[in-house]
Copies of this chain bind each other. A is one copy, B any other.
Amino acid sequence: MTSQRRLLVGIMQDSPSHLDAATLLAIAKQRDPRIDRATAYRTIALLKDRGLIDELDLMHLEGEKHYYEAKTSRDHCHMACFGCGGIIEYASPAFENLKREMAKRGDFQIRVVRLEVGGYCRHCARPGGKQ
Interface residues of A (CB under 8 A from B): 55, 57, 59-60, 64, 77, 79, 81-82, 88, 90, 92, 94-95, 97-98, 101-103, 105-122, 125-126, 129-131
Q: Is the CB of A92 within 8 A of B88?
A: no
Given A57-B57, A102-B77, A115-B114, is A121 in contact with B94 using a C-beta cutoff of 8 Å?
A: no
By secondary structure, the A interface counts as mixed
Given A57-B57, A102-B79, A115-B114, is A109 in contact with B130 using a C-beta cutoff of 8 Å?
A: yes
Q: From the candidates B60, B79, B97, B118, name the one contacting A94 in the complex (CB within 8 A).
A: B97
Residue on B with the closest CB to A89? B106
Q: Is the CB of A131 within 8 A of B110?
A: yes
